[in-house]
Homo-oligomer: A and B are copies of this chain.
Amino acid sequence: MNDQGEKGEKLEKMRHSASHVMAEAVGSLFPGAKFGIGPVIEDGFYYDFDLPRPLTPDDLPIIEKGMREIIASDSPFTWEEVDKDKARRIFCEQPYKLELIDELPDQLLTIYRQGSFTDLCRGPHVESTGEIKAFKLMSTAGAYWRGDEHRPMLQRIYGVAFETEDELGGHLERLAEAARRDHRRLGKELDLYSIHEEAGPGLVFWHPKGAVVRHIIEEFWVKEHIKRGYEIVYTPHIAKLDLWKRSGHWELYHDYLYSPMDVEGQEYIIKPMNCPGHILMYKTRIRSYRELPIRWAELGTVYRYERSGVLHGLARVRGFTQDDAHIFCRPDQLEDEVIGVLELAQFMMHTFGFSDYEVLLSTRPERYAGTIEVWDEATRTLERSLARLKLPYMVDPGEGVFYGPKIDIKVRDALGRGWQGPTTQVDFNLPERFDVNYIAEDGRERRVVMIHRTVLGSMERFFACLIEHYGGAFPVWLAPVQGVMIPIADRHLEYAQRIKGELLAEGMRAQVDARPERMNLKIREAELQKIPYMLIVGDNEVSDSTVSVRLRSGDDLGALSLQGFKAMAKGAIEAKR
């Protein structure tokens, strides 16, 4: 075990002990409280209670105070092995514990005690309550006993615990920063998108300010794909269910597919994937080995059913636009094609400001299509591609899709949180199911190899990631509004409008804040809207033909000539900064 592991184990013991201390404090506050379970989770712990009244946020400081007293008393944790009968006697007033005891195998059970509290628990714990360091209770939530909606609803208290107050402070600061950057919050504040109960959960409406970012990304994406030898295609959003039966998607994923629609007695579904459509187009004529590789890219909107409970802003939705592409190639072209995809993926990640990512190679799972030989050969090809690119990677054994091995890239945002990034998947299955071939140099029909790949994933999730990564302060090239003109008085309005016109003519996104409000308020609101450039114009600027430039960071660049400002802004846009 390494230091990290030792430290982790120590932290876990401390967090678990904190949950017992919390339970003791709650027990003192609510005599007759019934206890559920209290495990360790990431960064902390929780405990579930059956209490005589609902908890309010005001209860948490009181419980924390009780916990601090227990910690100050430095009571030892002691343990004992008891048989089930004795355990039943100890927990005779704790129905949830009794239920757990009944279900445990007939052997000695461990119980832990500290102060006035006794729990059925395997441990381990710290030596005494004094070892519990920095902690904080975070929130309460309802939780069904054993996760079963037919059992009683208990009250859960969540807490976090760290070894030092500094670490706790850092954690709370990260949480606050994550909340400030939450794309659901910024999506509303910056007027980027909305989701409507009237239309249905998980269905995204892109407002102008979100849509302009998406459109810039899509335009850039299309250009970059064309440059790299892809061709753009469009396919319909519905198709006969039979197509999805043939592809195997119905059998494997029907829980995620929408229910069929009836059209002239035939069942149609809204598409969950773009691949079968591309295959139909491939098969409209005989393809020669000379035509391959064929690289077809589509910003293809797909629909998958997710339970409403798991939907999350833009990050988990029911309809999303994949930046999809399928490559049809010969086996001897696979290595170069994978390299091409990975290079494009890296280029895209860097362009959008993600320099921290990890690469995972997922290999053959237990259930798989094709032969072991083909899998091994394809996996070796992926390894060779990664080696040629000198890309460090980890192997995720058995985590490939059933139809082939894959390379996933997981990116880390500015707060160090991981997001699912580009994926490159080899597919042996669909070419078999749809009989997708080419005529080889020797005149014989051969199976193509298919690659499925996305480099952004979906426009929705990628946008969520971008919003949180930048905290809504998009780089200039993506900013919905790049510059706002702020006239100091009404007499500067005409000049402001003229400058705006000049910026629009250069293809920049500029606005004038012409409201009859004070300059400071306009500046404050422009900062909240994360507009990169505030161009303040008053008497001096009008007479000198300049603009006073203020950045959203609060930095003042002073007066610049209009030429000077345009050069600076266009430089940032061209460099995709």
Chain A interfacial positions (CB closer than 8 Å to B): 191, 194, 196, 198-200, 203-208, 211-212, 214-215, 219, 222, 231-240, 242-243, 246, 258-264, 266, 268, 270, 276-277, 280-281, 284-285, 290, 296, 301, 303, 305, 307-308, 318-319, 515
Complex contacts, A194 vs chain B, CB 8 Å? 280-281, 284
Complex contacts, A319 vs chain B, CB 8 Å? 236-238
| CB atoms of A205 and B303 under 8 A apart | no
Complex contacts, A207 vs chain B, CB 8 Å? 233, 281, 284
Given A243-B199, A280-B198, A212 contacting B232 (CB threshold 8 A): yes
Complex contacts, A268 vs chain B, CB 8 Å? 200, 258
Copies in the complex: 2
Which residue of chain B has its CB nearest to the CB of A198?
A: B243
Which residue of chain B has its CB nearest to the CB of A298?
A: B211
Which residue of chain B has its CB nearest to the CB of A239?
A: B199
A-B contact pairs, 5 of them (CB 8 A): A198-B243, A206-B234, A206-B235, A208-B233, A238-B319
CA distance A234 to B233 in the complex (A): 19
CA distance A259 to B303 in the complex (A): 17
Complex contacts, A285 vs chain B, CB 8 Å? 191
Given A259-B262, A262-B259, A277 contacting B233 (CB threshold 8 A): no
Which residue of chain B has its CB nearest to the CB of A504?
A: B227
Give me 14 other A-B pairs in contact (C-beta within 8 A), A203-B239, A205-B235, A238-B319 excluded: A198-B280, A199-B277, A200-B239, A200-B240, A205-B277, A205-B280, A207-B233, A208-B231, A211-B232, A211-B234, A215-B222, A236-B319, A237-B301, A258-B261
CA distance A238 to B260 in the complex (A): 13
Among A196, A231, A296, residue most surrounded by chain B Cβ atoms (within 10 Å): A196
CA distance A423 to B38 in the complex (A): 65
Given A259-B261, A261-B258, A263-B258, A200 contacting B238 (CB threshold 8 A): yes
